[in-house]
């Protein structure tokens, strides 16, 4: 896609929005009050808003390679804190996807420079679940399972933050672990048990 095309597309998009509602952008500029925080992969095929059918203003979105939530990542931590404490979102979605290049890279032994410490987070997920993963003989199946387990672990990383523990005392917060299946377009809900995970980790990760 050429950049010139994109600018043209934008003009068409503005016109189409104004045709339906002449105050569309005036209203959009007034502010945002999304009820969900979506954390997903940067993969160009996993279009957060489009696949969820949500419009501008409805989802607060954070994307990075392999949808990771490392506790030392200032960007991810700021997004979570802002979404919970200021935007007051009630639902947090971590969405991975089958065919994730980041997860694939972490399964191989290659020196990828600055990507090494980032992908280390996925290798840690592998180590944590090595018994289960090593027992899967089919490599494609093992790859898929690591993608799912990575989502679960990132959900746990969200639950470990003080922002969510604090917010959950004021109102009911839900964390959803999803995997997007590129080959069918479907979202698969891993149905993580937020309350059970919270109860299990609180002994160690209770923050206040």
The residues assigned a catalytic role are: 41, 43, 45, 97, 100
C-beta of 100: minimal distance to Co ion in Å? Answer: 3
How far apart CA 82 and CA 42 sit, in angstroms, is 20
92 near 175, Cβ under 8 Å? yes
150 near 179, Cβ under 8 Å? no
C-beta of 97: minimal distance to Co ion in Å? Answer: 6
| 40, 43, 118, 165: residue in contact with Co ion (rule CB under 5 A) | 43
Task: Tell me the number of residues near Co ion by CB under 5 A.
Answer: 4
**Does position 146 bind Co ion by CB under 5 A?**
no
| 36, 37, 39, 41: residue in contact with Co ion (rule CB under 5 A) | 41
How far apart CA 147 and CA 143 sit, in angstroms, is 6
Closest CA to 75 of 32, 42, 50: 42
- Which of the residues 86 through 125 are near Co ion (CB under 5 A)? 100, 102
Q: Quick one: 94 or 173, whose CB is closer to Co ion?
A: 94
C-beta of 72: minimal distance to Co ion in Å? Answer: 21
| Other CB atoms within 10 A of residue 17 CB | 14
Task: Give whole-number Cα distances, 45 to 17, 24, 54, in Å.
Answer: 24, 27, 16
C-beta of 96: minimal distance to Co ion in Å? Answer: 7
Q: Quick one: 82 or 126, whose CB is closer to Co ion?
A: 126
Q: Quick one: 8 or 120, whose CB is closer to Co ion?
A: 120
Tokens of residue 83, six digits: 């979404």
How far apart CA 191 and CA 175 sit, in angstroms, is 9
How far apart CA 176 and CA 190 sit, in angstroms, is 8
Q: Quick one: 41 or 164, whose CB is closer to Co ion?
A: 41
C-beta of 63: minimal distance to Co ion in Å? Answer: 9
Cα-atom radius of gyration of the chain, to the nearest Å? 19
Q: Quick one: 168 or 176, whose CB is closer to Co ion?
A: 176
DSSP element (H, E) containing 179: strand 174-181
Interface residue list for Co ion (CB under 5 A): 41, 43, 100, 102
């Amino acid at each position: 896609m050429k950049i010139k095309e994109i600018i043209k597309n934008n003009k068409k998009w503005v016109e189409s929005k104004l045709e339906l509602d002449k105050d569309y952008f005036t209203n959009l500029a007034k502010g945002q009050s999304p009820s969900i925080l979506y954390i997903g992969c940067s993969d160009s095929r996993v279009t957060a808003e489009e696949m969820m059918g949500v419009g501008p203003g409805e989802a607060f979105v954070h994307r990075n390679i392999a949808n990771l939530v490392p506790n030392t990542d200032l960007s991810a931590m700021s997004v979570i804190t802002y979404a919970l404490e200021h935007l007051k979102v009630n639902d947090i979605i971590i969405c991975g996807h089958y065919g994730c290049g980041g997860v694939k890279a972490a399964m191989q032994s290659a020196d990828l420079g600055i990507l090494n410490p980032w992908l280390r987070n996925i290798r840690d997920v592998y180590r944590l679940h090595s018994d289960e993963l090593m027992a899967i003989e089919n490599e494609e199946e093992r790859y898929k399972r690591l993608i799912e387990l990575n989502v679960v672990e990132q959900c746990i990383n969200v639950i470990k933050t003080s922002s969510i523990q604090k917010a959950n005392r004021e109102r009911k917060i839900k964390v959803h672990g999803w995997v997007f299946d590129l080959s069918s377009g479907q979202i698969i809900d891993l149905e993580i048990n937020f309350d059970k995970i919270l109860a299990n980790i609180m002994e160690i990760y209770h923050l206040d």
